[in-house]
């Protein structure tokens, strides 16, 4: 009933995360219906995307390609950042979340993936050489590993600590425990165990 072209577009849109055939068809009918201008604008932006945006050459955050063909992201360009502090995250989404917290004044490095032996992702799949080069070039003093507190995230943190030890850099890990506003009663055992083993002394103000 619908033109083949719209079915092809539906299949492509259904590859977006969390989008099934029904949602994709809803998008297609919207775009093909009253929103012809939106389809054209989106088409132009998406066609340019692969050429215009690439992982940053220094940290693998997303960056716009400049006139000389280089891709350096806004954070790597920012001179006010503390180069001695490097936060390692798994994904760009995680970098954005840490930035929103406002607690990180250093720079970042995006691994792109986590160590995951079950999925066949070993140490060779991680950009460890690029990370080591970055640490030495920038004179990084502390690497904060902000991978998620999951099995893969912990394994990756351990691997990084081992790999970076010869560089004489301090490797730290973000704290894991009961979240702000969370309830001890409904916290799982592992979270509560971590909250206790990661306890800190309470400083009394004099």
Provide the phi-psi class of 64: left if phi over 0, else alpha when psi is between -120 and 50, else beta.
beta
Closest CA to 104 of 127, 90, 84: 84
Angle value at C-alpha 30, between 20 and 25, nearest 5 degrees = 25
- Our finding on whether 31 is near a copy of itself (CB under 8 A) is yes
Angle value at C-alpha 115, between 112 and 121, nearest 5 degrees = 90
Q: What is the DSSP letter of 116?
A: B
- Which residue among 21, 43, 135, 167 contacts a copy of itself (CB under 8 A)? 43
- Our finding on whether 74 is near a copy of itself (CB under 8 A) is yes
CB of 59 to a copy of itself, least distance (A): 11
Separation between Cα atoms, residue 65 and residue 55, nearest integer Å: 9
- Our finding on whether 37 is near a copy of itself (CB under 8 A) is yes
Q: What is the DSSP letter of 111?
A: -
C-alpha Rg value of the chain to the nearest Å: 22
Residues 6+ apart with CB under 8 A from 64: 52, 53, 71
Applying CB under 8 A, what is the total number of residues that bind a copy of itself?
A: 53
CB of 30 to a copy of itself, least distance (A): 5
Beta bridge pairs of residue 65: 71
- Centre a 10 Å sphere on the Cβ of residue 7 and count the other Cβ atoms it contains: 15
- Nearer CB in complex with a copy of itself: 46/118: 46
The residue to which tokens 């849109």 are assigned: 13
- Which span (3-11, 81-89, 131-139, 179-187) binds a copy of itself, by CB under 8 A? 3-11
- Which residue among 50, 68, 129, 202 contacts a copy of itself (CB under 8 A)? 50
- Our finding on whether 116 is near a copy of itself (CB under 8 A) is no
- Which span (45-53, 131-139, 179-187, 190-198) binds a copy of itself, by CB under 8 A? 45-53
- Which span (85-93, 129-137, 176-184, 186-194) binds a copy of itself, by CB under 8 A? 85-93
- Our finding on whether 66 is near a copy of itself (CB under 8 A) is no
Contact residues for a copy of itself (CB under 8 A)? 1-6, 8-9, 12-13, 15-18, 23, 26-27, 29-33, 35-50, 52-53, 61-64, 73-75, 91-93, 95-96, 99
């Amino acid at each position: 009933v619908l033109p083949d072209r719209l079915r092809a577009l539906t299949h492509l849109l259904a590859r977006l995360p969390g989008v099934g055939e029904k949602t994709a068809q809803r998008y297609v009918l919207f775009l093909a219906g009253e929103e012809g201008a939106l389809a054209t604008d989106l088409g132009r932006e998406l066609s340019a995307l692969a050429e215009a945006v690439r992982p940053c050459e220094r940290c693998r955050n997303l960056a716009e390609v400049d006139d000389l063909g280089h891709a350096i992201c806004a954070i790597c360009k920012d001179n006010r950042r503390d180069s001695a502090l490097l936060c390692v995250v798994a994904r760009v989404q995680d970098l954005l979340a840490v930035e929103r917290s406002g607690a990180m004044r250093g720079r970042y490095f995006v691994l792109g993936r986590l160590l995951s032996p079950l999925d066949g992702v070993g140490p060779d799949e991680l950009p460890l050489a690029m990370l080591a080069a970055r640490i030495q070039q920038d004179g990084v003093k502390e690497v904060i590993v902000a991978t998620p507190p999951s099995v893969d995230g912990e394994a990756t943190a351990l691997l990084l600590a081992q790999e970076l030890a010869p560089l004489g850099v301090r490797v730290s890990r973000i704290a894991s425990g009961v979240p702000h506003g969370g309830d001890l009663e409904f916290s799982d055992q592992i979270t509560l165990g971590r909250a206790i083993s990661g306890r800190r002394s309470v400083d009394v103000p004099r």
